[in-house]
Every structure is written in structure tokens, then in C-alpha cells.
Amino acid sequence: MSQITLTFPDGNTREVPQGITPAQVASDISTSLGKKAISATVNGAHFDLQWPIEKDASVAIHTMQDDEQALELIRHDLAHIMARAVQEIWPEVKVTIGPVRDYGWFYDFDREEPFTPEDLGRIEARMKEIINARDAVRTEVWSRDQAIAHYEKTGEPYKVELVNRIPEGEPIRMYWHGDWQDLCRGPHLQHTGQVPADAFKLTHIAGAYWLGDSSRPMLQRIYGIAFKNRNDLKAHLNMLEEAAKRDHRKLGREMGLFHMQEEAPGQVFWHPNGWTIYTTLQDYVRRKQRAGGYNEINTPQVVDRKLWEASGHWEKYQHHMFIVEVDESRDGEHDDAAAKSREHTRINALKPMNCPCHVQVFNQGLKSYRDLPLRLAEFGSCARFEPSGALHGIMRVRGFTQDDAHIFCTEEQIQEECARFIDFLADIYRELGFPEFEIRFATRPEKRVGTEESWDYVEGALENAIKATGHDYVLEPGDGAFYGPKLDFYLTDAIGRVWQCGTFQVDPNLPERLDAGYIAADGERHRPFMLHRAVLGSFERFIGILIENHAGKLPLWLAPRQVVVAAIVSDADDYCREVVAKLQAAGIRAETDLRNEKINYKVREHSVGKVPYILACGMKEVEERTVSVRKLGEKQTSGATLDEIVDRLRTEATPPDQR
């Protein structure tokens, strides 16, 4: 047998027989490492201790101290242990796939009966038994025929399909946990007892399509989370609780921001407090857009299908549109439905996007190259018939308003406009409290229109623009629209979640379809490019993100109720009114709380309601003409004179662009 050379992280090398396993390597280094080893990294790949090493390689042995590998193995082993537990309890269940994901794993099963939450406890208990049995994990590489024959015999049709899908040349690995067997690419731990028995939890059950394909059967997916020890699990469960407290649906109710009801699914009824946030944010964006060279417009919401046919939406997007039929023969009268005649019925659609309407504005009057770039912005109210299962609070809705704009420009202007936009967006994200964002650059897809030269040019322009602004980007090859490449902007919130908000898309297609043109310097009519772009995306969704990002404690300038002036004794009522009048005169959203309640009660209620400042006034304040200031989230109060507090709040309540 020939020798191979292994190189270790410290630079040492070792000559070993070809086909040696990482387990043997670890034991050769030291008995203790042999015992502690859980897996290895061999030439960059995560390796099972049982797999043979066939050629010269760099090798690092992992122990439970290596979080990344340890967690992957623990979670992956638990996926299999769970599948085994399920099949031991319900032998008729068919197994499919069970990958590691997020903070745990999931495994998809095919079973007639639905799993119930009570079943989860039963499965967990069986899993603990399997862990305590410390069953050895064993692996073999099988031939495709052997594997298929095996799974046909054991009645596992999904596994047969999986085996068939493994590319030629890749090993087909079989794993055993005790007597239970599964197809798996590995790696795994060496026995089930290496998995901590008290640091995992099955969290929920949900439906999931086989292979993610909505035309394939719906399977039952069981999710679990797992960590290295009980404390990490507890910490994660606490974090989930914290995240639940930030839920914008809950805070929206508690803060009196908005409600939704079943007569208008996916649409928001904004209450005074919520609408204050909305308009404050909109005013801010409007100022930014004006400063950024945009012209604000407004276009119709109910538009004849002819325009949607011309734009291509009727063909490609109709299922997502609200269609409105109007019998024009009615002429305002109450007519019998039977009187409706087809020739008098006009079919309209609520606009799902603003772009076709913006082209109509562009098309009015003859445009010169001197007019370009022309930046048309609209707070465009759109309606999309989103699938019922997609709706989620105010984050995913059927009626929403975009901070939309379309830039009409020449091909040569794309790069400059793109760079301008990235700076524009970065500025707004920073001012709104999201300094970190990521750019994803989606390039030409397989199915596309336009010449290769044109794609080359436009993609180059976007790439140069990103570089000019000094940002990094992630390339997403093939993810662009059929008509052009795009940039998507993902911001990171306070608890590390990422949200796609901004977008920038190059579109030569719609101007073509809707026959937009301008007269160039050569006196000829040319086609402009159209750049679709948004910063916030939709106000509804962005406000949802803001609420969750701040856990409801919005910065003062966005807070709907900025100050409550609370009387401690009713003899201070008049003074409280005077304080509120002064604050309001300074442009601050202030109100009194003169109710017959103790100050404790008022402080609690307004704290729960996320009011940024409570100014308490008793007879001491009346006599000294001061206020007692309590800032949200702080136990400590401080005194201030009337002038001081007005000044301080006015400064803090100034929107970031006006400071």
C-alpha cells in the first residue's frame, strides 16, 4: 500500500498509509485526541472519522471544542435520530430528507395521519432513549443499484428518488444508527451518545412540498433546534421569546397603530398613531427625494386592461391583479344586472406596479435628450392579489404604497444614476438607523431578452457603479429579471435579521413595449432606458421593520406620541395644559394625562405604550415651573425647567435630515 502525506494546521506533516481514516490519525497523535475527536476537515471538506483519506491532504481533527463542526454534527445526527424515533413509533412512515438549518434541523416525513403537538413530546422521549443507548454509527459506500434495490425492498420511494438524483461519481453513503439505516452524505458522530440529550427541542410541525416543488406531494416537516449544552438552548429559547415581544402585530395593537379585519384581508386600517409614523416617514422621504433630483408625480389606481396588455402585465401578472369590471351603460343609474351587456363592460385592473403609468407621464409631450435623466417619483398605492398564505401582518399585504421612482435615461447615464442611487439609499438607511446593508447583484438569467453586448454593457455599468461607491456586493448569477440585471439591498436589523428593501433594476423592455422615446442630439428618436428603484420598498412593510427593529421604542422624531405630561395631583392640571401648549407650539406631539389615577399607574401605562418621554408635574413643579422628566426605558428621573425641556425635545425630535 502506498504512503500519503498529511499536513496539519501547525505545519507538521506525517507519512501515513493510503486509506487511513481520520479516527486512526487522531489516535496516532494521542490517545486522548483519539477519544475526543468528532470529525475532521480534509482538504477543506468536513470529513467523517470513518472515511478513508486517499491522497495527500491537509487535515485538521475536530473535537467538541470546535463549535461550527460540533453543532453541525449534533444537529445532523439529531435529524437522523428523530427520523429513527419516528419510524420506531410509526413504522409505516416514509422518510425523506433532513438537513441542518438555522439553529437546528428539520426532517420531512410522508405519513397519512397528521403529527400533533403531543406527538412531539413522544418523539422527543424516544430520541432521548436512542441517545442514551449510545448506538454506534457505521457507514458504508454502496453502489447505486444496491441502494435502489434496498430502498425498493424496504418501501422507501423517496429514498429511491434521492439515490437516482445523486450525480454520477459521487459516493452513495449509507449510515446506520444501531439497526436503523438512512441514506446520508454525512459526516456523522461516532455513536448516538455523543449528542447532548438535554440541549435540543422539537419546535413545530408544518407542511412542506417534496423537493420544494408545489406540484409534488405535501409532506410533514418537523423542526427542531439543538445546541451543545442546556444553557445555550435556554438562551436561544429566551431570544425567541424576545423576538416574539417585538412582533409588529402585537406592538401595533398595543401602541394603537393600526388594525386589520377580515373584510379587507391584507390591507391596513391605519389609526391616528400609526398614520403619524407613516406620514412622518413619508414627509422625510419626500424631502430626501426632492433634494435627490426627483420629480414627484401621482398616477391613477384603476387602469384599463389595454395598458396592462401593452405593458405585458396582463399576460404575465394577471393572477396577481385585482380585476375591476364596470358596466358603463349603467351611467350612474341602478340597473338590473341582466342589463349588463358585454360590449358595455369595461375591464380595469388596480395597478400592481407604477411603472406603466410612469411611462405614460414620460410619453406626454416630446422629450429631448436634454430632459434626461428624468427621475419620476411616486408614493404609488398598489394592489396585488397576494396568495392567502403569503399574507403576514403589515409586512406582506395586498394593498401597499411604494416609495417608487423610475429614472428615464440613456445607456451611458446608467452607471452614474446607479452610483447616485446607492449613495442616496445608503444615506437614508443610515439616517433611519440601519448603517449595515448588503448589495446583491443579480445578473443575466438563462431566459432573457436583449443582445449579449447590451447585457455586457449594462452589467458592467452596475458593477462599476457599486465599485465607485465603495461598497462590497454579493454576486447572484442568473437571478436578474428577463429584461435586465438588478441590485437588491438587504438591511440588517437590531437582532440580526436581514430584510430586502431597496432595489435597482435596469429595464430596456418596458420603454420598448410602451413606445417611449426621446429626441437625441442627432435629431433621431431613441429609446430611453428605464431604471426601476425603491429604497424602503413599501411603507407598510418598512414600518413593520422599524417597529420590530426598535421593539416599538421608535426614535423620538418617528414616535407617534412623543410626550405625555402627567399630573401628579389635580391641582397641577392647569400647569400641565400650559406645558403641553408650549411643547405643541414647538412642534412636538404632546398630550396631557389628567386622569384621576396615581402617577404610578400613568407611568406604567405610558411606558407600556412606548411613549418616549413622560413629564410628571406635581405641586413642586408648579411652584418651580419645572418638569420631572422620565425617559422611556430609564428608571431614573431628572428635573428640567420648562425652557430646557422644550429646547431639548425640539432638538431630539428633529428629523435626521434637518439636523
Partner RNA sequence: GCCGCAGUAGCUCAGUGGUAGAGCGCACCCUUGGUAAGGGUGAGGUCGGGAGUUCAAUCCUCCCCUGCGGCACCA
Please, which of residues 608-627 interact with RNA by CB under 7 A?
Answer: 608, 614, 616-621
Q: Is 209 in the site for RNA (CB under 7 A)?
A: yes
* Whether residue 617 lies in the annotated active site: no
Stretch that binds RNA, among 138-146, 210-218, 288-296, 401-409 (CB under 7 A): 210-218
Residue 355 annotated among the catalytic residues of the structure: yes
Q: By CB under 7 A, is residue 482 in contact with RNA?
A: yes
Tell me if 628 contacts RNA by CB under 7 A. Answer: yes
> Nearest approach, Cβ of 101 to RNA (angstroms)?
8
Q: Are the beta carbons of 401 and 538 closer than 8 angstroms?
A: yes
Q: Are 435 and 429 in contact (CB under 8 A)?
A: yes
Grid cell, residue 70, equals 460540533
- Give the residue, chosen from 309, 571, 574, 647, that forms a contact with RNA under the rule CB under 7 A: 571
- Nearest distance from residue 637's CB to RNA, in Å? 4
If one counts every other C-beta atom within 10 angstroms of the C-beta of residue 397, the result is 24
Amino acid letter for position 612: P
CB of 87 to RNA, least distance (A): 19
Q: Work out whether 393 is an interface residue with RNA (CB under 7 A).
A: yes
Nearer residue to RNA within complex by CB, 144 or 253 = 253
Instruction: Measure CA 365 to chain center.
Output: 41
| C-alpha span between 480 and 370 (Å, rounded) | 30
- Three-state DSSP state, 529: strand
Which class for 26: exposed (0-12), middle (13-18), buried (19 or more C-beta within 10 A)?
A: buried
Smallest distance, Å, CB 510 to RNA? 8
Distance CA 556, CA 563 (A): 9
Q: Is 114 in the site for RNA (CB under 7 A)?
A: yes
Is 372 a binding residue for RNA by CB under 7 A? The answer is no
Reference 281, options 649, 98, 540, 491; nearest CA is: 540
Q: Which of 12, 388, 451, 658 binds RNA (CB under 7 A)?
A: 388
Classify residue 228 as exposed, middle or buried by CB count within 10 Å of its CB (0-12, 13-18, 19+).
middle
Which of 62, 188, 313, 406 forms a contact with RNA (CB under 7 A)?
A: 313
For residue 552, what are the CA distances in angstroms to 214, 270, 547, 650? 37, 16, 5, 21
In the complex, what is the shortest distance from the CB of residue 160 to RNA, in angstroms, rounded to a whole number? 21
Residue 80, annotated as binding a ligand: no
- Among residues 375, 384, 396, 533, which one is catalytic? 384
- Distance in Å, CB of 621 to RNA, minimum: 5
- Write down the catalytic residue from 108, 135, 403, 404: 404
Give the rounded distance of the alpha carbon of 469 from its chain centre.
Answer: 25
389 part of the interface to RNA, by CB under 7 A? yes
Among 253, 287, 290, 344, binds RNA (CB under 7 A): 253
Is position 184 annotated in a ligand binding site? no
Among 177, 221, 406, 630, the active-site one is: 406
Residue 332 Ramachandran class (φ > 0 left, ψ -120 to 50 alpha, else beta):
left
How far CA 182 is from CA of 154, 275, 402, in Å, comes to 11, 55, 49
Q: How many residues bind RNA (CB under 7 A)?
A: 64
CA-to-CA distance for 244 and 26, rounded, in angstroms?
A: 44
- Residue 384 is a catalytic residue: yes
Catalytic residue at 404? yes
Question: End-to-end alpha-carbon separation of the chain, Å?
Answer: 76
Nearest to 533 by CA among 428, 412, 386: 428
> Closest separation between CB of residue 379 and RNA, Å?
18
392 is a site residue for RNA (CB under 7 A): yes
- Kindly report the number of other CB atoms within 10 A of residue 205's CB atom: 17
CA nearest neighbour of 206 among 191, 219, 190, 225: 219
Q: Is residue 212 a contact point for RNA (CB under 7 A)?
A: yes
Is 301 strand, coil or helix? coil
Q: Is 62 annotated as a binding residue?
A: no
Q: What's the rounded Cα separation, in Å, for the pair 463 and 357?
A: 29
Per CB under 7 A, does 221 bind RNA?
Answer: yes
Report d(CA 69, CA 107) in Å as an integer: 20
Stretch that binds RNA, among 122-130, 156-164, 310-318, 362-370 (CB under 7 A): 310-318
Q: Which is nearer to RNA, 70 or 576 (CB)?
A: 576
Cβ distance to RNA smaller for residue 312 or 517: 312
Q: Using CB atoms within 10 A of its CB, is residue 342 exposed (0-12), middle (13-18) or buried (19+)?
A: exposed
Smaller CB separation from RNA, 581 or 619: 619
Per-residue contact track with RNA, 7 to 46, x per CB under 7 A?
Answer: ----------------------------------------
Is 55 one of the catalytic residues?
no
Q: Does 570 bind RNA (CB under 7 A)?
A: yes
> Around Cβ 544, how many Cβ atoms within 10 Å?
26
**Per CB under 7 A, 458 contacts RNA:** no
Q: Which stretch binds RNA (CB under 7 A): 122-130, 133-141, 193-201, 209-217?
A: 209-217
- Nearest CB to RNA, comparing residues 91 and 389: 389
> According to CB under 7 A, which one of 125, 141, 235, 390 is a site residue for RNA?
390
Residue 500 catalytic? no
Minimum distance, C-beta of residue 255 to RNA, in the bound complex (Å): 12
Residue 635 near RNA by CB under 7 A: yes
Instruction: For residue 592, give Cα distances in angstroms to 562, 581, 602, 615, 620.
Output: 11, 10, 11, 9, 18
Residue 344: half-sphere exposure toward Cβ, Cα within 13 Å:
11
Nearest distance, CB of residue 86 and RNA, angstroms: 15
Place of cell 394577471: 318
Among 391, 468, 519, 640, binds RNA (CB under 7 A): 391
- Please identify which residue in 33, 166, 260, 519 interacts with RNA, judged by CB under 7 A: 260
Give me the least distance between CB of 635 and RNA, in Å please. 5
Residue 637 near residue 620, CB atoms below 8 Å: no
Q: Is 641 in the site for RNA (CB under 7 A)?
A: no
**Residue 364, interface with RNA (CB under 7 A)?**
no
Asked whether the beta carbons of 406 and 531 are under 8 A apart, the reply is yes
- Which 584-613 residues touch RNA, going by CB under 7 A? 596-601, 603-604, 607-608
Check: CB of residue 306 under 8 Å from CB of residue 360: no
- The one-letter code for the residue type at 219 is L
Amino acid at 161: E
Binding-site annotation, residues: 355, 406, 532
The catalytic residues are 355, 384, 402, 404, 406, 486, 532
Binding interface with RNA (CB under 7 A): 114, 116, 204-209, 212-214, 218, 220-221, 249, 253, 260, 262, 265-266, 312-313, 316-317, 353, 355, 386-393, 481-482, 567-571, 596-601, 603-604, 607-608, 614, 616-621, 628, 630, 632-633, 635, 637
